[in-house]
Chains A and B, each alone.
Chain A
C-alpha cells in the first residue's frame, strides 16, 4: 500500500537525505586528509628533477643519493639546506639568490650549515625530541673543529663522517656511523698516509684496532656495545684522551679495574713517571685479550718490564700469579672429575652449577690484580679454591657412588640368578613328580 507523502514527511526525508549526503562528503574529505602526510605527499622539486637527468655524475649523484636520505624521509628537500625555489621551472629561477639560494657551502661553513637546524632545539623537537643539539658546539671543541677554525680544510666536518645527500640514521646498518662502520669511516682519512701528511699522528690505528679484543667483539661477536673509535675519542668532540684522562676513558666500561687501579701503588708511580694508566700495560688501539701470561715474573710477563727480582712489586706479582694458577688448577681438576662422573651417568648438575662460585672467583681475582695487592687477591682466591674443592669432593663422591652401585649390582645379580635357579629347579622337581605320577597312573 502506497502512502502519499505529506509536506511534513517530505521535509523530514529531504532533511535526512541532505544530512546523509553531507556526512558522506565530510567522510571523503576526512579520508583524503588522513591519507595526506608530508612524507606521502610528493612535493614538486625541480632540483631533483633536473639534477637526476644530468649526465655529469658529480651533479646527478646528489639527486639520486637523496632518495635514501633521512632528511627526505622527514619531508625535507634540497631547498631546506641550499635555499632556492624548487617550484621554479627554470634553472635561473630555481637558483635565484633573491629566493634564498645558497648553493654549495664552503668546507669551513659546513658545521654552521648543518647546525642551522641541528643546533636549534625548538626546530629539532619537531623531528626528534631526544636528539642532542650540541653537536656543532662540541665539534668546535674537537681537534677536527679546531683545525678547521685554523683554516685547515682537510679537517673532518659533518659530511666527512655522515656523508652527504645519502645521510642515514645512526641505527641504520648502512649508515657510515653505524657502530661496526665507524672505524672504517674514520680510517678513510686516518689510515690514508697521503691525506694525513703534515699531521703529527700515526696512520696505523685502524690496522691495530682490527687486531684488538674490542674489534673481535664488534665484528665477530656482533656486539654493538663493544667500543669503536668514537667510544674512546668521542664523536663530535673527537680528541685523543691525554695521559691524565685515559683511565677515565677506559673506566667508563672497565669501572672496577679503573677503581682498583686508583687505589693501587701503581697510581702514584705511573703519575710520577707520566705513564698512561691503562695503556702502559694494555696498549691503546691494539688491545689484546688479557691473559694470565701478562702477570707474574716469568718471561713475557708485563710486570718485569718495570720490576726487578727482589723488589716488593716483583714478589707481589709472583705471588698473585701463583695463587691464580692454583685456583685455575683446582678448577681444572674438579671440572675433570665432575665431567668424568657425568659421562658415567651420574647426576652432578648441582655441583657443576656450584663450580660457578670458583670460576667467578677466578674472574674476580683477575680483576683484583689491578689493585696490585696480594691481600685483595687472596680474599677471593681462597673461597674460590674452597668452592672448587667442594666440587672435587662431589665428583669423588659421585664416582665412589658409581663404584658402590656396581658392586651392589654384582651382589644383587648373584642373588637374582640364584633365586631364578631355585625356581627353575622347583619347576623341574614339580614336573618330574607330575610325569612320574602320570606314568604310574
Chain B
C-alpha cells in the first residue's frame, strides 16, 4: 500500500504514467536492415561508460605536466581496479568512435536523413565532431611521449589552415608549443566543455529520434512491415548488446591493457614512425601522399582544406539529397558513400602497414 502511495505521489508530480504510456506506444519497424538501429544505442551506451569511468579516473588524475603521467601510473598500479577503469575508458573510447562511424554510415546508406529528419542528422554530425575532439583531447591527458608528439603534429596540422590556422594553433596549445598549458586546456575541454556540449546535442538527437520515430529505408517504404515495441522488446535487445559490450570491454582490458608508455619529454627526439590514433590515420596517410606543391599552393594546406570542406559538406547532405523519388541522386550519393568508405578503410590499412 505504501509503495502505491509513493507511486501516486510521484505520478501526480512527474506524470510518469503519461511518459510510460508514450513509451509503450513507441514501435520499431522490423526488416532486414533493423540490425543497424542498434548502433546508435550502442554508441550512447559506450558514451555512458565513458562518463562513468571518466568520473572515476577524475578522482585520482592530476592535470599538470609534472603530475599527469605519475597520476595515471598511480591509477594503473596502485589504485584497486584502477587498471581496469583506465583500460575500459581507453578501449571504450575507441569502440565508441567505431560504433559512431558505423552508425553514421548506416544512417547515410539507409537515407535516415530524409525529411523530416534533417535536424537528427545535423545533431549527429555535430556529435561526430565532438566525439573526435574527445578522442584528440583525451589522448594527450596521460602526458606520455606518443601523446605529446601526436598532439604536436595534430595541432601543427590545424596551424597550416589559412588565416585562422595560427590563432587556432595558439588557442589549442595555449602558446606556441605543446606544454603543460596545453595539457591543462585539453583537460578542460575533455572534462567540461565537450561533455556539456555533447549532453546538449545527445539530448537534441535522442529527442528528434523519439519525435520522428525510427526511419524506414526508402526501398521499404509502403511495404507492410512488422513492428516491435520499443519497450520492452527493442530495449531488452539493446540491453543484450550492452551486456555483451561490457564483456568485450572487460576482455580487452584484461588481455590487452592500454599501454602507458614513457613520460613526455619536450627535449627528447620524436619517436620514429609516429602515427596518430586509428580514426585520424586515413587523413594522416593522405597528407603523406600529397605532393609538396599542388598548383601554386602548399600540398599539405590543400589536403587539410579538402578534408575541412568534406567535413563541412557532411552537414549539407540532408539538404542536397532530400527527395526520395530522385533515384539518380540517390545512386550518386551511394557511389560517393562507398568511395569515401573504401578510401578511409584502404588509407587506414596502408597507414598501419607502412612505416
Contact = CB atoms under 8 A, between A and B. Distances in A.
Q: Which of A347, A405, A408, A426 has the most CB of B within 10 A?
A: A347
B320 interface: no
A431 B233 contact: yes
A435 to B, nearest CB: 11
Contact of B243 (A346, A405, A420): A420
A409 B240 contact: no
Interface in B251-265: 251, 254-257, 259-260, 262
Contacts of A424: 240
B90 to A, nearest CB: 12
B240 A350 contact: no
Interface residues on A, range: 20 to 34
Contact of A409 (B232, B233, B255, B260): B255
A349 B260 contact: yes
Contact of A345 (B237, B239, B259): B259
- Tell me the dominant secondary structure on chain A's binding face: helix
Given A420-B240, A424-B240, A346 B247 contact: no
A429 to B, nearest CB: 10
Given A350-B77, A409-B255, A430-B233, A416 B243 contact: yes
A427 B241 CA distance: 13
A253 interface: no
Q: Is the interface of B mostly helix, strand, loop or mixed?
A: helix
B240 A347 contact: no
Interface of A: 345-347, 349-350, 405-406, 408-409, 412-413, 416-417, 419-420, 423-424, 426-427, 430-431, 434
Contacts of B77: 347, 350
Interface string B213-247: 00000000000000001001100110110011011
Nearest to B78: A350
Contact of B244 (A349, A409, A416): A416
A241 to B, nearest CB: 40
Contact of A427 (B233, B244, B257): B233
B76 interface: yes
B282 interface: no
Contact of A346 (B73, B233, B237, B257): B257
B98 interface: no
A423 B243 contact: yes
A408 B246 CA distance: 14
Interface centre among A350, A417, A427 (most CB of B within 10 A): A427
B260 A347 contact: yes
Contacts of B83: 347, 405
Contacts of A347: 73, 76-77, 83, 257, 260
A420 B244 contact: yes
Give the 6 A-B residue pairs with the shortest CB-CB distance, closest first.
A409-B254, A416-B247, A345-B257, A405-B254, A420-B243, A427-B236
A350 to B, nearest CB: 7
A427 B244 CA distance: 16
Nearest to B257: A345
